[in-house]
Amino acid sequence: MSADLRLSDHEKALYSRQMRLPGVGEAGQLRLREAKVLLLGAGGLGSPVGLYLAAAGVGLIGIADPDKVEVSNLHRQIIHGFDTLGLPKTVSAAESLGEINPGLKVALHPEGFTVENAAELVSRYDVVIDGTDNFATRFLAADACVLGRRPLVHGSVLRGTGQVGVFLPGAGCYRCLYPVIPDAASVPTCADAGVFGATCGVIGSWMASEAIAVVLGRRRQSRLCVVDVEAGSSRPLAILPDPACPCCGASATIRTLDKTAYAPVVCAPPSPVMSATPLEISVEEASRLLAGPNPPVLLDVREPDEYAVCRIEGSRLIPMNTVPTRLAEIPADAWVLVQCHHGGRSMRVTQFLRSKGFARVTNLQGGIDAWSLKVDPKVPRY
């Protein structure tokens, strides 16, 4: 083994605790040192991702983000500080990462990730990590990774919940789960709904762990984990290739990155049915509707053991991880209320069903726990 394919004494000391892990060792640490990772977004998710990848010894991190550091960023975007207010996020992030690991190489892409540069950027890196906060860039990253045959690590947050996805070439992509770009107005942003900085830390750290696992060759299938930080729970979803997927399916229609296919953050106006259906309603409003002459369908997406503990009368149980294979059981022409324990899982299912063309789907805010507290105290809490 030549000298440049060995770790220095300094590197062995720096990564000694990590190298003791099964499957890492010097060979794994060298793989990390040789890895080139593209980070899309140096914000709430990109901050912990970048810091932990730098600390883990990834050799080259590219950062694509066109924004500048603002005061409202600092409660969750921990890679930045008051001393970097007004600086491009790429520059601010690079300074912080250099403090973590002076040997790290950082490539700055202050133009961001765009249709014009997506294919070229993806081709230059081994793994792409998407921590962006808008649908257009999220779907652009997903499609570019399929076309460029690069693994994608995805993350998103909303309030106290989040999701972490790993999409491997040929093993199921983001569009196998979400085939069409949803209307931006159908899902609230963190600016509208709020978010805990620590939630970004949980999801971002998880994303970094998945990226490291991909580099070390530990991932063999695509998957999505839905995380409810407030409830202290996570639910895995296995992602299988969809033969009808518009990007990776047998008759895929997405074969190039066409600028017209990736709308800005503001999408086309929703249909009258969709706009008349709220994304989320309170348990009090749900109780009134369920007691009315034409009650909506109440879909419970918890697990069977949870359903055995307590349930809302008249609800139908379809656990979240089985929803993609049981769409035929969900009426497309009825108003569907989706309910879980606290509202995190049900919000994800609500978004998924809307992306699949179910226009009249609404999340039950607070889930069955809020129902017990505000509507029916006879329903047990857990």
- Domains in the chain: boundaries: 35-261, 272-374
Contacts of 190 (CB under 8 A, 6+ apart): 44, 133, 157, 158
Let me know if 190 is a catalytic residue.
yes
In angstroms, rounded to a whole number, what is the distance separating the alpha carbons of residues 65 and 311?
45
Domain 35-261 CATH superfamily: NAD(P)-binding Rossmann-like Domain (3.40.50.720)
Instruction: Record the pTM.
Output: 0.70
Residue 105 has pLDDT above 80, yes or no: yes
At 349-374, the pLDDT tens digits run 998 898 888 889 999 999 999 999 99
* Three-state SS at 143: helix
Which of 176, 247, 310, 340 is flagged as catalytic?
340
Let me know if 247 is a catalytic residue.
no
At 315-347, the pLDDT tens digits run 999 999 888 889 989 998 899 999 999 998 898
The DSSP bridge pattern shows strands 233-238 and 223-228 to be antiparallel
Contacts of 377 (CB under 8 A, 6+ apart): none
In angstroms, rounded to a whole number, what is the distance separating the alpha carbons of residues 26 and 145?
29
Residue 91 has pLDDT above 90, yes or no: yes
Q: Which CATH number fits domain 272-374: 3.40.50.720, 3.40.50.970, 3.40.250.10, 3.30.70.3420?
A: 3.40.250.10
Distances (CA, A) of 204 to 34, 53, 62, 300: 22, 11, 16, 29
In angstroms, rounded to a whole number, what is the distance separating the alpha carbons of residues 279 and 259?
29
pLDDT at 357: 84
Average pLDDT over residues 239-258: 90
In angstroms, rounded to a whole number, what is the distance separating the alpha carbons of residues 121 and 110?
12
Which of 145, 190, 200, 248 is flagged as catalytic?
190
In angstroms, rounded to a whole number, what is the distance separating the alpha carbons of residues 312 and 221?
36
pLDDT at 273: 38
pLDDT at 150: 98
At 218-243, the pLDDT tens digits run 999 999 998 988 888 888 888 889 88
